[in-house]
């Protein structure tokens, strides 16, 4: 496959991720911050996020199993995840975190448990999408191509209800 084809595959997958709101424009910021000295910056930060997720999910599962759930602890963990997910642009994960936090506010255990499941599902989904994206990126770079993300103010990125 030539560089142009690889580029269009990469772009196609990226556009898909944005259209499905797996990603918002924040990810293009990460890409922009890459240079020769830090060619893997976005990949590193995204990998850190998924490492964090594992630890936080473990803590959340444990907190939600307690006979008397400490909603403050749960909320703190979700708050952390909300921050890191928005820093990498994982919009759907951020969205789930916001709903999750309001269930914490209401001390709504059932809602929290539901959000926990959704959080795991969304995280697994976006992880899968990122893996594909980074693989396509590697192929493109290996073929001598380069990446500038074609991000425009897509209409849907301006009215995310969860971006307050």
Partner 1 sequence: MGMAKETQFHVLAVDDSLIDRKLIERLLKTSSYQVTTVDSGSKALEFLGLIEEDHRNPSSNSPSVSSDHHQVVEVNLIITDYCMPGMTGYDLLKKIKESSSLKDIPVVIMSSENVPSRINRCLEEGAEEFFLKPVQLSDVNRLKPHLLRGKSIEKQPEPKPQQQQQQLHLQQQTQQPNNKRKAMEEALSPERQRPRYSGLTVI
In the list 88, 126, 133, 136, the residue contacting partner 1 (rule: CB under 8 A) is 88
Please give the Cα distance from 82 to 63 (Å, whole number): 17
The residue range among 31-39, 57-65, 116-124, 135-143 that interacts with partner 1, by the rule CB under 8 A, is: 31-39
Q: What is the DSSP letter of 66?
A: S
The residue range among 39-47, 60-68, 123-131, 133-141 that interacts with partner 1, by the rule CB under 8 A, is: 39-47
In the list 44, 105, 106, 131, the residue contacting partner 1 (rule: CB under 8 A) is 44
The residue range among 63-71, 113-121, 134-142, 149-157 that interacts with partner 1, by the rule CB under 8 A, is: 149-157
In the list 52, 109, 127, 134, the residue contacting partner 1 (rule: CB under 8 A) is 52
Name the region of 21 (left: φ>0; alpha: ψ -120 to 50; beta: rest).
Answer: left
Please identify which residue in the block is written with the tokens 């849907």: 156
151 binds partner 1 (CB under 8 A): yes
State the minimum distance, in angstroms, from the CB of residue 67 to partner 1.
25
How many whole angstroms from its chain centre is CA 107? 26
Angle among Cα 10, 13, 16 to the nearest 5 degrees reads 150
**CA nearest neighbour of 17 among 96, 128, 118, 115:** 128
**CA nearest neighbour of 120 among 72, 63, 58:** 58
Q: What are phi and psi of 28, to 5 degrees?
A: -65, -25
CB of 114 or CB of 162, closer to partner 1: 162
Give the interface with partner 1 as residue ranges (CB under 8 A): 11, 25-26, 28-30, 32-33, 35, 38, 41, 44-45, 48-49, 52, 76, 79-80, 82-84, 86-89, 146, 148-153, 158-159, 163-164
């Amino acid at each position: 496959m030539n560089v142009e084809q690889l580029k269009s595959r990469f772009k196609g997958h990226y556009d898909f991720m944005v259209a499905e709101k797996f990603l918002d424009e924040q990810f293009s910021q990460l890409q922009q911050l890459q240079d020769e000295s830090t060619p893997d910056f976005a990949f590193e930060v995204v990998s850190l996020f998924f490492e964090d997720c594992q630890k936080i999910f473990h803590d959340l599962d444990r907190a939600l199993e307690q006979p008397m759930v400490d909603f403050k602890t749960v909320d703190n963990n979700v708050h952390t995840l909300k921050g890191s997910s928005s820093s990498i642009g994982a919009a759907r994960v951020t969205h789930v975190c916001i709903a999750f936090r309001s269930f914490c506010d209401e001390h709504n255990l059932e809602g929290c448990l539901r959000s926990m499941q959704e959080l795991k599902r969304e995280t697994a989904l976006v992880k899968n999408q990122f893996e594909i994206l980074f693989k396509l990126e590697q192929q493109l770079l290996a073929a001598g191509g380069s990446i500038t993300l074609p991000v425009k103010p897509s209409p849907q990125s301006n009215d995310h209800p969860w971006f307050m």
